[in-house]
Amino acid sequence: DNEYYLNRQDAFESNVRSYPRKLPFAIAKAKGVWITDVEGKEYLDCLAGAGTLALGHNHDDILEALNAFLISGMPMHTLDLTTPIKDQFSEALLSILPNKGKEYCLQFCGPSGADAVEAALKLAKIATKRNTIISFTGGYHGMTHGALAVTGNNGPKEHVTNLMPGVQFFPFPHNYRCPTGMSGEKGAGILACQFQHFIEDVERGSPLPAAVILEVVQGEGGVNPAPIHWLQQIRKVTQEHGILMIVDEVQSGFGRTGRMFAFEEAGIEPDMIVMSKAIGGGLPLAILGIKKQFDAWHPGAHSGTFRGNQLAMAAGISTLNTLNKPHFLGSVMQRGHWLTGQLQALQSHYPCLAQVRGRGLMIGIEIVDEGLPSDSSGAYVGDGLLAAEIQRQCFKQGLILERGGRNGNVIRLLPPLIITQDECFEVVLRFESALERAIK
Ligand code: PMP
C-alpha cells in the first residue's frame, strides 16, 4: 500500500476532509490518461477529473495556450468584463450550439456546474412567471440548495431541511430493471404518455411548471441514457405547454458521448443548456446557454465574482479546437463502441456484470449480486458492495474509475477522450483481472 498516503492520513485524519478514501494514493504527476503517484506507480485514469479533462492531463495544446496566456500580460480574472479571450471563447462556444448558436445567448455563471444549474432554475421562474420545476428520478444536478432540490438521489438530502420548494419528480426511463417496471423503448413510451397526461392534469388544476430539468445521459445516477423517443416526447409536451426544457450537459457535453452534446442524438433543441466540467479544459467554469426569447434577466439581476476565469477560457478554446478537428468525435464514438463491446463480451463469463451501457466514452457497468433482495417495486437492489470491491481491486491493478447509481452499484468509466486504442485494451485487461480478484 501507498506509504506516503498512509503517513499523511495519520497526520491529517481529523483536520482535512479528503475526497476518496477509496482511492488511497497521493498524486505526483499526470499526462494524458496516466497518473503517477508519489511512489512512482502508474494508473490509467478513467475518472479524468470527473469528466473535466476531455483532453486528458496536461495536454500539450492546453499547456501551450496557458503558457502563452501567462506571459501575455493579460489579466487572469476579469469578473464579467469584456476581453478578447472571452470574445473568442464565446464565439467558439456559440458555434457548437444548435444552428451555430444563432438563437442562443451565453450567461457566464461561475466556477461550478451547480452555479449554472442555479442560474437556469432562477431564470426559468423569471421568464415564465411560474413557480415549480419538474425533475426526474436518478438525476444529478449539484450540491447547492436549488440544484440539490432537483437531484433525484435522496441520500445527500438527508437532514437538509428547507430545500428549494416546488420540485416535483417524475420517473426517468431506465432501460434495465426500471424501478417503475417499465424498461426499454416500450416502457419509455408509456412513461412519456404518462408525462403528457400528468402535465395535462396539472394544467386543469394548478399552474403549469416553469421548467423540466434533465440529463440526457444520467451520469452520477448510474449512466442511464434516455431513450430518444422519450426525449422527443418530453420536448414536444414541454413546447406545447410553454414549459422550458433545461438540459444539463455538465457531464455529457463536449464530446463525451461522441457528439458535441448528448441531446443532439434526439435532434432536440433545449431552451437552456447547462455547461461546465470540460468547457474550461480542466479549469473551473460554468455557463448557461439560453434561448434568446427566455433571456429575461434585468441587467445585474444575476451576478457572481468568479465568472471571468481567463485561464479557463483559454484552456476551453484549446479544448474546443481539438474537439472540432475532423474525425475527433468519430474516434470517441469508435473507442466507446469498442470498449462497450469488450466489456459486454465479459458478461458471459461474469454474470455479475448485469448490463454494460452508455454513449461514447460515458460508460456504466451495472453490477448485481443475485443473492441480494429486491425492493418494494420488485426491482433488484444491489447494495454496491461487490461494485465497491471491484473498484478497490481496479485501483490495485492501476485503474481508476468511479461508481454511481442508486446504491453505488454501477461502475462508471469517463476516460479522457484522447484515449488510444492500446490504452482502451489496457483498460479491459486491468478491469478483467480486478474482476477476477473481486469475485474470488
Ligand atoms: N450536473 C451534472 C450532470 C453533474 O454531473 C454535476 C457534477 N457531477 C453537476 C451538475 C454539478 O457540478 P459541480 O460539481 O461542478 O457543481
Fold agreement (63-323, 327-418+425-440): no
As for the ipTM of the complex, it is: 0.99
Domain boundary assignment for the chain: 63-323, 327-418+425-440
Q: Which atom of ligand 1 is nearest to the CA of 276?
A: 15
Give tens-digit pLDDT for 398-440.
999 999 998 899 999 999 999 999 999 999 999 999 999 999 8
Sign of CA dihedral 149, 153, 157, 159: positive
Determine the distance separating the centroid of ligand 1 and the alpha carbon of 114, expressed in angstroms. 6
Do 375 and 179 form a contact (C-beta atoms < 8 A)?
yes
Q: Is the beta carbon of 218 within 6 A of some atom in ligand 1?
A: no
Determine the distance separating the centroid of ligand 1 and the alpha carbon of 117, expressed in angstroms. 9
* Ligand 1 mutation pick, 109, 144, 251, 285, max ligand atoms within 8 A of CB: 251
Which residue ranges of the chain lie beneath pLDDT 70?
1, 9-21, 370-382
Instruction: Give the Å distances, CA to CA, from 312 to 65, 70, 71, 317.
Output: 10, 12, 15, 9
pLDDT at 14: 57
pLDDT at 310: 97
Spatial separation of the C-alpha atoms in residues 84 and 286, rounded to whole Å: 19
- Identify the bridge partners of residue 247 per DSSP, sorted by sequence position: 214, 273
Determine the distance separating the centroid of ligand 1 and the alpha carbon of 250, expressed in angstroms. 6
Q: Which atom of ligand 1 is nearest to the CA of 114?
A: 16
Q: Is the beta carbon of 220 within 6 A of some atom in ligand 1?
A: yes
Cell digits of residue 71: 506571459
Do 161 and 149 form a contact (C-beta atoms < 8 A)?
no
Q: Which atom of ligand 1 is nearest to the CA of 142?
A: 11
Q: What is the CATH number of domain 63-323?
A: 3.40.640.10
* Ligand 1 mutation pick, 115, 141, 403, max ligand atoms within 8 A of CB: 141
Give tens-digit pLDDT for 139-188.
999 999 999 999 998 889 999 999 999 999 999 998 777 777 777 778 88
Spatial separation of the C-alpha atoms in residues 144 and 157, rounded to whole Å: 10
Sign of CA dihedral 379, 383, 386, 388: positive
| Gap between the terminal Cα atoms of the chain | 20
Q: Which atom of ligand 1 is nearest to the CA of 218?
A: 3
Q: What is the CATH number of domain 327-418+425-440?
A: 3.90.1150.10
